[in-house]
Structure 1
Amino acid sequence: MNLSLQDPFAVAKEYPESLANALQYGHCVTFQFSHKGDYLASGLSDGSVVIYDLASRGSVIAHLHKHAHIRPITSVSWSVCGRYLLTTAQDWHCKLWDLSLVNSPNHDSAVIRSIIVDGPIWSASINPSNEFQFTASLFEDQAIFVDWSDPLPQNYRISRLESKPLEEHADSDANSSTKSVTLVTAFTHNGRYVFSGTNKGWINVFDTQSLQMVHSMRLTTSNIKNLVMSPNGRKLAVNSSDRIIRQISLPDLVNQQNPDSWEFDVEHKYQDVVNRLQWNSVCFNHNGEFLVASTFGTQSSQDLYIWETSMGSLIKILEGSSEELLEVKWNYSRCMIGSNGLEYGTIYLWSVDFPQKWSALAPDFVEIDDNIEYEEKEDEFDIIDDDILNKRRLEEEDSYVDILTPENHDARGFDTSLRSFIIPINYERPIV
């Protein structure tokens, strides 16, 4: 009933405008929305993971603390189906959780895969096309590609192997005593390629089938902090420590099979030339038309900045948080932006205000702000012949109204026929 009262054109708004909710359950250090947007996984500083149900306004439905990590969580990543959750932490462990078992009597077996790597982990992400494959960037070491389709995981290194001409142009690299280390990785939307960013400003592209580098380019001389790809695979946002966010237009990585023909053009550069703001994290919306970023260590660190990507102009500053914001993520299905605080670990959620429209139930219903004087029609209370009434009833009965078949797409173009995994809830077992 309440969903029917919402204005369908209000749902089509592409970016949030006001702070709607704040979630507090432990100290959140990292979080991620599920692909369907129904759940939010929060990694805590004590090594456990909390899962919120966004359909019920952020109620906690699971707390993954048994067989969890013993150090703070560094990243959480959902599978596309929503059933599996990858967690990494500073204890050098990577764990894959089967969420169908977290609230069952045999919840102790929820961790179905686990691996120890060679150091603390910066971040990790699941392959969109295979939930049993993921990449992880390690502290002061090369990134790894893990395939644990079998219980015995296969661990592969994905290191940077530039050609000789590229090394000749990198004079600073040749004279530097520090080695090139991968800091962040990101899969393409089809899982065919992996983009990696290094501490020397290189963007390297690897083929997930051969694990060979197929393309490389140097974008800056600073550390690359974030690599975020739009869901449609057309844009790439690169956040580096030189205080500049670069928006790159990607070629058609699916049809252009020759990596030598790829061209990565920088469309826009987002920076604050006055205050010289440092950016913590960036994220695209569902169609890549908007980009949001959180700031670092300034008076504006409690705000989120939203740009329009076609022209590169700042259109909105989201306010309302009471602490510096770290990561920022976009919930595509619910048009919601989330960010976690540094001091208290609170998760702040900005969303769109949905005004109720009674005209959505009846097209002839007119909404008025003030009372108006009603004027009676001339034939409003005239006696109508029964034959005419029966004829009108028959005409109305001929028109078929389907109230059972759901729509295939909503007002924002999302496919509503796709079903994601629903985490079972045990109401008799308390969440601790």
Structure 2
Amino acid sequence: MNLSLLDPFAVASDFPETLTETLSYGYSTCVKFNRKGDYLASGLADGNIVIIDVDTNSVILILRGHVRAITSLCWSEDGRYLLSSSRDFKVDLWDLKQRSAIRTVVFDSPIWGSTIFPDDIFKFTASLFENDAVIVDMSEKDNAKIVKLSTKPVMANSEVNSSGSEEREGSHRKRRLKRHQTLVCTLSKDGKYIITGTSRGWINVIDRASVKTLRSFKVCDSNIKGIEISVTGSRMIVNAGDKTLRQYLVAPNWESIQLQQKYQDVVNKIQYNGVKFSYDSEYLCASTLGSTHDIYIWEAKMGSLVKILEGSKEELISVDWNYRRCCIAATGMDSGTIYLWSVVYPQKWSNLAPDFEEIEENIDYEEKEDEFDLIDSAKESGKVDQQEQYDVDVVTKDEKDARGFSFIDSFVIETKLDDFDAIGSI
């Protein structure tokens, strides 16, 4: 049913509330919606990638190129290209129009995750297992240029030498520290800065053009598992190994970050896995690893818990938020099932017409003599409805949909009959 005909209070819901679908297309390890929200990419443990149509919840395309579990997926802005990383030491750039990988980069270690630059599909940044994070330029097909990013933080009150020891100013004592390792990296929304998290609890802000570390911030004493930046770019959430989510306000040009909220369960000691902001960064959701098997949703400004999404029977790993469809997807650890929470819209048939009347049972109705005539007696007498005198514009497109989102042009994946023969092999 058209969204404009539904209950306006239900359409205005900011977050989903009910588990509506469970999809079992192989063992899913990570999920990612495209920008428009009409496709869901699911990376499997066997290295395959399935593209799911959100409207029908059916597989429309299978990408085969990896041989081990997929660790991360990243869509391009137009939805035509998909960047995938895997434990087989390889990163592939897929062209969904050609249905094949157009670029492949092989590293010396597995990849934690990779993110494509918003203004250049042939450039991405990646964090590697027990190695430095890198920026890769694969404009040339057979000659990818790899630049390593510095892991050492820029400290204000201490200096770190190349051997990994830390010497504090004003003291003759040296303390040996373990070498920093970059565990996660992501991009600012404008793509000018690379944000990395280390195993020692530091956040590094690296300039993309000069590949130099501009600033460093100490956020905790444990390793950083994930970094999520809101769509507006004003907020950042840091998922650390100490079972705490830290929310920061980000200054322009990443000059400073200010701690705003902390999210933790001091009673159950829940470990959080995937984290995601809503489209306006007013809400935050996180999947849990533990006995709860739920997804928590907080109000970001006040830090209050507003909803717990229940229904899954296993621990949840990857999570993604489809803003335009008001849907949250998460993958289960045991079975690899994809769980979808969304808003159940109540059907209000009385919204179809002002004179529409809902009845409990069928009744006999006697129609008038001229009720369904093409030209009734009222029009013959000159009493024509004023609204019927205006022409209906069926050419001009609306700028926004029923929920207030601007329409965007996105790539449409062509469906072929040969693809359905291969779906049964998943």
Do Structure 1 and Structure 2 share a fold, with TM-score over 0.5? yes
Change (3 A) 1:289 1:364: farther
Alignment of 1:205-220 (within 5 A): 205-220=205-220
Change (3 A) 1:129 1:175: same
Q: Tell me which residue corresponds to 1:265.
A: 258
Change (3 A) 1:313 1:387: closer
Deviation string 1:238-297 (CA, Å, 9 cap, x unpaired) is 0101111011011123xxxxx6xx22111110011111211112111111111011111x
> How far 1:370 moved relative to its partner?
10
Shift, 1:99, TM fit: 0.6
In 2, Cα distance between equivalents of 1:415 and 1:2: 17
Alignment: residue pair count = 402
Partner Cα separation in structure 2 for residue 285 and residue 185 of structure 1? 20
Where 2:252 maps in the other structure, the secondary structure is: coil
Q: Which residue is equivalent to 2:280? A: 287
* Pick aligned residue for 1:309 from 300, 321, 335: 300
Return the TM-score normalized by structure 1: 0.87
Which AA in structure 1 matches 2:124? F
* 1:26-425 map, 5 Å: 26-56=26-56, 58-65=57-64, 68-102=65-99, 110-151=100-141, 152-163=143-154, 165-168=156-159, 175-253=175-253, 262-296=255-289, 298-300=290-292, 302-363=293-354, 365=356, 390-393=381-384, 395-416=386-407, 418-425=408-415
Q: Decide whether aligned partners of structure 1 residues 143 and 115 sit closer, same or farther in structure 2, where only a CA change above 3 A counts.
A: same
1:25 aligns with 2:15: no
**Closer, same or farther in 2 for the Cα pair 1:395/1:180, shift >3 Å?**
same
Further displaced range: 123-132 or 310-319:
123-132
TM superposition shift of 1:20: 0.8
Q: Deviations over 1:194-229 (max 9, x none)?
A: 111111111111122222212211111111111001
Farther off after superposition, 208-217 or 263-272: 208-217
Q: Give the CA deviation at 1:368.
A: 7.6
| Residues 3, 402 of structure 2: 8 Å contact kept | no
1:374 matched residue in structure 2? none
TM-score, scaled relative to structure 2:
0.88
Distance 1:27 1:166, change over 3 A: farther
Output the CA distance in 1 between the equivalents of 2:111 and 2:181: 12
Aligned equivalent of 1:378: none
Q: Is the 8 A contact 2:3 2:11 kept in 1?
A: no
Is the contact between residue 31 and residue 42 of structure 2 (CA under 8 Å) also seen in structure 1? yes
Cα distance in 2 for partners of 1:311, 1:368 equals 45
1:308 CA displacement: 0.5
Deviation at 1:406, TM superposition (A): 3.2
Distance of aligned partners of 1:164 and 1:242 in 2 relative to their CA distance in 1, 3 Å threshold: closer
Cα distance in 1 for residues equivalent to 2:70 and 2:393? 49
How big is the alpha-carbon RMSD for the aligned residues of Structure 1 and Structure 2? 2.6
Give me the whole-angstrom Cα distance separating, in 2, the residues matched to 1:350 and 1:331: 10
Question: The residue matched to 1:175 in structure 2 has which SS?
Answer: strand
Q: Give the AA of the match of 1:64.
A: L
Q: Please give the alpha-carbon distance, in whole angstroms, between the structure 2 residues aligned to 1:355 and 1:408.
A: 26
CA apart distance, 1:388: 8.0
Opposite residue 156 of structure 2, the aligned amino acid is P
Shift of 1:43: 0.9
Which residue pairs with 1:256 in the alignment?
A: none
Change (3 A) 1:96 1:28: same
- Which moves more between the two structures, 234-243 or 168-177? 168-177
The 1-side partners of 2:378 and 2:332 are apart by: 70
What amino acid is the match of 1:299? S
SS of match in other structure, 2:417: coil
Q: Which moved more, 1:196-205 or 1:145-154?
A: 145-154
Question: Could you tell me how far apart the structure 2 residues matched to 1:147 and 1:332 are?
Answer: 31
Offset, 1:164? 5.6
Could you tell me whether the CA contact under 8 Å between 1:326 and 1:341 is conserved in 2?
Answer: yes
